[in-house]
Structures are given as structure tokens and as C-alpha cells.
Amino acid sequence: MFRKGPVEMFSYINRKFKGIGTASIIISFFVSLYYAIILAWSVSYFLKSFIYPLPWSTNTDNNSILNIGNFTNSNTTISNEGFVNINYFPKQVLGISEGISNMGGLNYELVFCLIITYILIYYCISEGIKTSSKVVYFTAPAPIVLLLVLFFR
């Protein structure tokens, strides 16, 4: 009785409600596309984190926070040498162009990361609940462990 999709479940309430079930499927599809792209950004940063020095730690743009210099107050001087390049994500990762007249090209690095993301998503859901529960064993405590490591570091 309960093994129905959203379209069939809403049609049990009223036949006119099939559109609500269809809309929920379409919205879920677009939300999953959106989050897959965010995961692809994470995969890109993960892969680039093995490069020394880190690509986002160097200054390649004149508008970066690294070029501002030192701030002098009456009591203290604050140096911003420890900051990262704030333009790395929009310029290097996303490849944002100067304007709408210059659309730019396809970012093959992000396409590769998106393919890796879809392969990982497929692997996580292909076996059903068995594989998903194994993934949760890692993904649930991982943020807490990483925060503790960063806190005590």
C-alpha cells in the first residue's frame, strides 16, 4: 500500500493532485543537480589540496586581500599576510568572465569533478540501503572529528 511514488500517493487523495507529485519529482531533480555541482566544487578543492603550495594561498590578482597591506592602528599593527586569495574561487574555480558579452568556455576541470561526483553518488545509492548506511558511518562523524582536530591543532 505504501510502496508508491509521489504521483500515485497524491492521486489517492484526489486525481487532481497528480501535478503536486509530478512537481515534487521535478523539484527533487533540480535540487539534486544543484547539490551535485556544489559537491563537484568540493571534489575540485580536495584534489587541489594535494598541490604544494596550495593554489589559493598565493596572490595572483591585484584586487586580492593580500595586496591591501598592513593596517595601522594607534596601538597595534595588523598584518594580513595569513589571509588567502579571496578571488581564487570566482576566478580560478568558477572561471567567471568579465561580463555577459564574454561567456567564456567550458571548464573541463569542473566537468571532470562533476563526473567523479556522479560516479560517487551512483556508487553510494546503487546497492540500496546497505551501501548508504556504510557511507553514513563515515559522513556523520567526519565533520565532528575534523572540527576537533582543527580545534586542538
Helix (H, G, I), strand (E, B) or coil at 56: helix
Which amino acid is located at 31 in the chain? V
Per DSSP, what are the bridge partners of residue 99? Answer: 102
Structure-model confidence comparison of residues 59 and 17, the more confident one: 17
Sign of the torsion formed by the C-alpha atoms of 9, 12, 13 and 14: positive
Query: What total number of domains does the chain contain?
Result: 1
The verdict on residue 85 lying in a domain is no
Decide if 67 is inside a domain: no
* pLDDT band at 134; cut points 50, 70, 90: confident
Q: Using a cut of 0.85, tell me whether the model's pTM lies above it.
A: no
Q: How confident is the model at residue 118 (pLDDT cuts 50, 70, 90)?
A: very high
Determine, yes or no, domain membership for 30: yes
Q: Dig out the grid coordinates for 1 from the structure.
A: 500500500
Q: Is residue 129 part of a domain?
A: yes
pLDDT tens per residue across span 24-69 = 999 999 999 999 999 999 999 899 889 888 887 776 555 444 444 4
Summarised one tens digit per residue, pLDDT across range 75-114 is 554 444 555 677 888 888 888 888 888 887 888 999 999 9
Range of the domain at 23: 6-50+106-152
Residue 10 phi, psi dihedral angles, 5° rounding: -70, -25
